[in-house]
Structure 1
Amino acid sequence: MEYDDWDSGKNKLIREKNIRRDLSWKRLKRLFGLILKTRMLRL
């Protein structure tokens, strides 16, 4: 019983980490896109 609780808690932690990584990756891509756009406008 305890092992099952621990396992589900671990899976929850992993899921939260993945979600956080996904959000940060999307934010980075958006920032990169903005930088590219401004560079194109300057040129």
Structure 2
Amino acid sequence: MPRSRVNGNFIDKTSSIVANILLRIISTTSGEKKAFTYYRDGAI
């Protein structure tokens, strides 16, 4: 599923936005960011 896909309800949209913000703010390596992105895409 593409990363840009966000479910229709408010909680899913909010959690996706918060996850994207945290991923940008928290200093992580590029490998960790890629792993989190794969995990998040699978959770959606």
TM-score range, shorter chain: 0.3 to 0.5
Q: Structure 1 length normalisation: TM-score?
A: 0.41
If each structure's helix is expressed as a fraction of its own residues, which one has the higher value?
A: 1
